[in-house]
């Protein structure tokens, strides 16, 4: 007799950002620091949706940090892009 194994998959969150002039550097495309800011904001929002907002972390002595990141830039993002 075989058992069916079910694995819970975490819900996927999508957060949309629209590129503004302030997000760009002197080359006219999104600066790499901005991508990191968007990733951090998305992580915080996803966590808050599950009841773990900033206060929940801070009262326990924790905070969000990027220990490592790697981004493959496929094309430049410019103002107005989403």
- Which tens digits make up the pLDDT trace of 20-68? 999 999 999 999 999 999 999 999 999 999 899 999 999 999 988 888 9
Q: Is residue 39 part of a domain?
A: yes
pLDDT given for residue 48 in this prediction = 92
pTM of the shown model? 0.76
Q: Is residue 38 part of a domain?
A: yes
Number of domains in the chain: 1
DSSP annotation of 60 reads: T
pLDDT given for residue 9 in this prediction = 66
Q: Which residues of 41-76 are buried (b: 16+ CB within 10 A; e: fewer)?
A: eeebebbeeeeeeeeeeeeeeeeeeeeeeeeeeeee
Q: Is residue 1 part of a domain?
A: no
Rounded to whole angstroms, the Cα distance separating 42 from 49 reads 11
Domain range for residue 60?
15-76
pLDDT given for residue 12 in this prediction = 80
69 CA to centre of own chain: 11
Q: Is residue 48 part of a domain?
A: yes
């Amino acid at each position: 007799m075989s058992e069916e194994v079910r694995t819970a998959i975490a819900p996927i969150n999508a957060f949309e950002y629209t590129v503004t002039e302030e997000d760009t550097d002197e080359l006219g495309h999104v600066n790499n620091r901005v991508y990191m800011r968007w990733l951090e904001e998305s992580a915080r929002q996803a966590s808050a949706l599950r009841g773990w907002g900033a206060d929940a972390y801070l009262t326990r002595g924790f905070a969000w940090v990027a220990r490592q990141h790697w981004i493959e830039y496929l094309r430049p993002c410019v103002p107005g892009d989403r």
